[in-house]
Each structure stands twice: as C-alpha cells, then as structure tokens.
Amino acid sequence: MFCAFLYNVVRVTHPRGQYLPRACILQNRRFIGKTIQPGTIEDRCMANNRRHFIIATVLIVICTVLVYWVLDTVLLKPAAAVVEAGPIDNLFDQHIWLIAFLFALVVVFMCYALIVFRARGDEGDGEYVHGNGLLEILWTVVPCFVVVYFAWISTTMLIDLTRPNPDEFVISAEGRQWSWLFTYPETGAVTPDLVLPVDTPIRMDLTSDDVLHSFWVPEFRVKQDTVPGMVTHVRFNPNVIGEYTLRCAELCGTNHGGMLATVRVVSAEEFKLWQSEQLAQRQE
C-alpha cells in the first residue's frame, strides 16, 4: 500500500531518459482512476515507476536485514543477571529492528535518488513537483501508530518494573564521594560491598550523603540516581549467581570513575550464612 501511494505521487524519469517522452514524467496524478491502455505512454510510465519502487523495496528489505544483523553482532550488551533484563533486552531488540528498517528506508531511497537522478552534466532543471498532501499525511499518521505502539509497551513494562512486591527484600544504600555503604535492615549490618540472595525480588532504598550518584550494575540493566535528602527506589530480581560491579553513573567529582562496589549474587543458603556472620560480627 505504501508503494502504491508513493507512485501515485512521485514521478520518475527513466535511468537513461531517452525512452520516455517528457509527458511521461509530468503530472502522474492524471493516471489515478483511469484505465490505462497497454502500450500507451501512460502504461510505460507506470511500469517504469513500478520498476523503481520494486527495486527500492527489495533493496530496503535486504538493507534492513543486513543492518539488523550488523547491529546485533557488533553491539555487545553486558551479560544479563536479573529477571528484568529479559523484557528490557527484548524491547531493545525491537528498537534495533525499527532502527534497521528506518535507516534502510531513508538510505536506500536517498542513495537510489542520488544515483538515478544525478545531473550527468545536464544543466537543466528537475521535475516541477511541489509535494503531495496525501503522502505527507501518510508519513505523519503511520509513524504515530509506531510511536504509540512503542510508548504503550514501554509503559506497561515500566509499570511492571516499578511495581512493589510484598515479598521484596529491602536493602538501603548510601552513596558518598566515592564509595557505597549498604545497610541490611533485618540484621543492621553495614557493608561496603553488596551481597544479594539469588531469585529474590530486591528493593534498594537509595540515598546520598553528599552529591548526586547513580546506582548502576550494567548486568542488572536498571539504573537510579541517588539524591541527597531524598530516598529513591530501584527494584530487580537477580537470577544468576556471580560477581558484578556496581558503577556510579552520575558525575560526582574527582574519583567518579572509580566509585565502584562489588556486587555478589549468592545462593539462598550462602546468603543466610553471610547474614548470620554479619550479625555475629555486630554483636562482638
């Protein structure tokens, strides 16, 4: 349908120009709603248009797949270590498809035009075409649907990502220039490194002692600034045992780059053991 609209509007010269009389590249609108007799100028003109758009469409499809493949290969996301990474990475992937398609659409049409409609030493003018309202409405309205689709799925996903869970395990974190402190309310333990039980919904209550910082573990995807005088929240559910690095993501002064903390995701048993150790240390 897109192409059908396009070639109602866009007049096309033949690549070598000599086959078609000038009439062919003038108002194409006169073809609309008319039965075109085979073999006439109109017929050859329409066939020529159709040929350009068929070639362009094929190139767009090829280019889309190619761009997607390249981006998918070269963009190296960190490993995923939380449940939330699933939907986020899926949305990321949909975006990459959209990027690949739109990139192909514009670049193919642009390069095609640059090659086919280059001046070739001809000092004359191109076709006298001012535009087409129908086409403009089309490429205003169709993107609206794409926009609403992406906004809608992102909205539902965001609501899921931030929904409180009655079973969530709460840990407080405080950023300070240039280290982190984690407080476990259950035991009152305060540690410079973060230890998390696997497969448990976690809520971090974040704040800052001095300037802005930001809580970000690339493997956890989610991110949240820590603000002095305010408690912000971030929720995630780690599902892969391992060791990660928490990296401050908001410029916070001299050693911002070095404001790191080790994050260990451990099994439930190990976590219990660790907590009792912490409790014992506190009681000493």
Partner 1 sequence: MSLFTLGIARGLLGQVLGMVIGMLLTCAVRILLGWEAWAAEPAWTVGSVCSIIGFLLGVGSLDDWLKWTKGIPTPFHHGPPVDKPAWTRYFSVDYNHKVIGVQYTVWGILLLMVGGTVAMIFRTELARSGLQFLGLDLYNSFIGMHGMIMIFAILLGVGGMANYLVPLMIGAEDMAFPRLNALGFWFNVPGSVLLLLSLFIGGWDAGWTAYPPLSARGPIGYQLFFLGVFAIGLSSIVGSLNLLVTILRMRPPGMSLFRMPIFCWAVFATSLLQLTATQLIGTSFLMVSVQRALGMGFFDPRGILGEVSPMVGGGDPVLFQHLFWFYSHPAVYIFVLPGLGIVSELLPVFSRKPLFGYKWIALSSMAIAILGFIVWGHHMFVSGYNDILRIPFMYATLLVAIPTGVKFFSWLGTMWGGKIHFDTPMLFVLGAISVFLIGGLSGPILSTVPTDFPLHDSYFVVGHFHATMFGGFVFPFFAALYYWFPKVTGRMYNETLGKIHFYIMTPAFWVQTLGQMGVGVMGMRRRIADYDPTLGAGQIEAWHMAVTIAGFAIAFGVMLMLWNFFQNAEVGAAAGDNPWRSRSPEWQIPSPIPEHSFPAPVRVVGEPYDYGLADSGYVTTASPGDD
Query: Within positions 151 to 180, which residues make up the interface with partner 1, using CB under 8 A?
Result: 151, 154-155, 157-158, 161-162
By CB under 8 A, the count of residues binding partner 1 is: 84
CB 265 within 8 A of CB 241: yes
- Largest Cα span, the chain: 99
Please report how close the Cβ of residue 202 comes to partner 1 at its closest, in angstroms: 15
Binder among 223, 241, 270, 279 for partner 1 (CB under 8 A): 223
Cα of 250 vs its chain's centroid, Å: 21
User: Going by C-beta distance under 8 Å and a sequence separation of 6 or more, which residues neighbour residue 153?
Assistant: 91, 94
Site string for partner 1, 241-260 (x = CB under 8 A): ----x-xxxxxxxxxxxx--
Stretch that binds partner 1, among 10-18, 166-174, 184-192, 265-273 (CB under 8 A): 10-18
76 lies in the site for partner 1, by CB under 8 A: yes
Please report how close the Cβ of residue 280 comes to partner 1 at its closest, in angstroms: 34
102 lies in the site for partner 1, by CB under 8 A: yes
94, 99, 100, 104 alpha-carbon torsion, rounded to 10° = 150
27 lies in the site for partner 1, by CB under 8 A: no
Please report how close the Cβ of residue 80 comes to partner 1 at its closest, in angstroms: 10
Stretch that binds partner 1, among 57-65, 117-125, 194-202, 263-271 (CB under 8 A): 117-125
Binder among 64, 214, 237, 278 for partner 1 (CB under 8 A): 214
Binder among 2, 19, 41, 78 for partner 1 (CB under 8 A): 78
Please report how close the Cβ of residue 214 comes to partner 1 at its closest, in angstroms: 6
Residue type, 194: L
CB 71 within 8 A of CB 100: yes
CB 174 within 8 A of CB 180: yes
Binder among 35, 37, 140, 283 for partner 1 (CB under 8 A): 140
3-state secondary structure of 228: strand
* Segment holding 266, helix H or strand E: strand 260-266
Stretch that binds partner 1, among 33-41, 116-124, 197-205, 272-280 (CB under 8 A): 116-124
| DSSP for residue 244 | E
Cβ neighbours around 140 below 10 Å, total: 9
Phi and psi angles of residue 40, each rounded to the nearest 5 degrees, phi first: -80, 170
